[in-house]
Amino acid sequence: KAGVTQTPRYLIKTRGQQVTLSCSPISGHRSVSWYQQTPGQGLQFLFEYFSETQRNKGNFPGRFSGRQFSNSRSEMNVSTLELGDSALYLCASKIEGGETQYFGPGTRLLVL
Amino acid sequence: DQQVKQNSPSLSVQEGRISILNCDYTNSMFDYFLWYKKYPAEGPTFLISISSIKDKNEDGRFTVFLNKSAKHLSLHIVPSQPGDSAVYFCAASTLPGGTSYGKLTFGQGTILTVHP
């Protein structure tokens, strides 16, 4: 079974731009969570989607948003990029009722 | 408020010896704990997990111990191999519902180096 895939793997943007990242979960997994990893803050939870609905959200500004499609694929969007948004963005999927999240390889975003 | 803490930023071990990575937590509502291994610029890889109703779980060279009264868990790797060198994160979750859906709370990680 294929793992979690994320595209693109690397991205360079400038301040003020917006960016969209994509995540395809493991087949059969309907829960998708997003995380941000930075050297200073570690791995921080952004939000979780299930059945096209956001069920939970972490402590991030409204510039961070996401959505989920009927095939469970998910996208996250960051608008008005700031230098501090430079990070590794990770998505993870799990089966509903399961406890273990499986992570994708991440998207490395650099904001200049 | 860091609810999951890994107080040792790094650990160095000789090949063949035991590696013990520690993790402490403060939230008594956590009921499931996981360990992940991570290489730079890659996603975390799941290693092993334990439910709060257990105090030990084994999978090959990896064993996780949970001491609920002390709010402490540890990961034992025996024997350690050079390929085990990576960053190890512990993570915790609460029962699903409300503000806990899909949320893992991570420690800051411990860099393990296994020397040949």
Place of tokens 């085990």: B84
pLDDT-above-70 percentage for chain B:
95
Stretch B83-87: mean pLDDT, rounded?
A: 97
Ordered DSSP codes for A24-93: EPPTT--EEEEEEEETTTEEEEEEEEETTEEEEE-S--TTEEEEE-TTS-EEEEE-S--GGG-EEEEEEE
Tell me if B104 and A33 make a contact (CB, 8 A cut-off).
yes
DSSP 3-state assignment of B41? coil
Residue pair A14/A81 in contact by the 8 Å Cβ criterion: yes
Tell me if A101 and B51 make a contact (CB, 8 A cut-off).
no
Q: List, for residues B3-57, the tens digit of each pLDDT value.
A: 999 999 999 999 999 999 999 999 999 999 999 999 987 899 999 999 999 999 9
Residue A16 has a pLDDT of: 98
Q: Which two tokens stand for residue A95?
A: 């089966």
DSSP 3-state assignment of B61? coil
Residue B10 amino acid letter:
S
Tell me if B104 and A45 make a contact (CB, 8 A cut-off).
yes
Q: How far is A18 from chain B (nearest CA, A)?
A: 22
Question: Looking at the partner chain, which of B32, B34, B101 has a beta carbon nearest the beta carbon of A55?
Answer: B101
Nearest CA in chain B to A101: B46
Nearest CA in chain B to A55: B101
> Does residue B97 register a pLDDT over 70?
no
Q: Which two tokens stand for residue B12?
A: 């160095």
Nearest CA in chain B to A93: B102
pLDDT band of B99, cuts 50, 70, 90: low
Q: List, for residues A54-92, the tens digit of each pLDDT value.
A: 999 999 999 999 999 999 999 999 999 999 999 999 999
Rounded-to-integer distance, Cα B11 and Cα A85, Å: 30
Residue B98 has a pLDDT of: 61
